[in-house]
Chains A and B, each alone.
Chain A
């Protein structure tokens, strides 16, 4: 029966093993994609689901690494951070604005407007949410 590892030395060792496996897997995915690219052309690469996995992993990794980067931002946050609701409202406003503009133009329909507005809202909200929580963490740490 497998027991949960509680030994800190083994936990670190396990993480290092996972890292090696991750490198191996990434190299494998890259090899498959390059092979496809040579044999069937670039369009076959981007339609391959492995490509999505590869890009998704890269984005996930980059976002997670935001939290462990060295502080470039030396300013001290003295004043209280603005509320999260305000961020959401601003993103929503920009989304609605672009949605309205799209649906009001000559070749735009209401469905297109809603779609574009939603996409812009979500795309703006995600990075601002991450920055919000990073700042919040920083303020909590410096207290």
Chain B
């Protein structure tokens, strides 16, 4: 997610404003310390023009 955000040239603050959350929340999601709701995930995907797969998919741990 961080890579996608930097590619578009958005700061955490700007992305947070676009979605309507705080910068801290974006930071925690990028660090993997906060588990966002599906709605918030979708909002992030729309803002970054990516799919859920691109940003959040993690292979199942065996």
Contact = CB atoms under 8 A, between A and B. Distances in A.
A8 B22 contact: no
Interface residues of B, number: 11
Nearest to A10: B22
Interface string B34-45: 101101100000
Contacts of B36: 8-9
Q: Indicate the size class of the contact surface on chain A.
A: under 10
Interface string A4-45: 001111100000000000000000000000000000000000
Interface of B: 20-22, 24-25, 28, 34, 36-37, 39-40
13 contacts: A7-B20, A7-B21, A7-B22, A7-B25, A8-B21, A8-B25, A8-B37, A8-B39, A8-B40, A9-B21, A9-B25, A9-B28, A9-B36
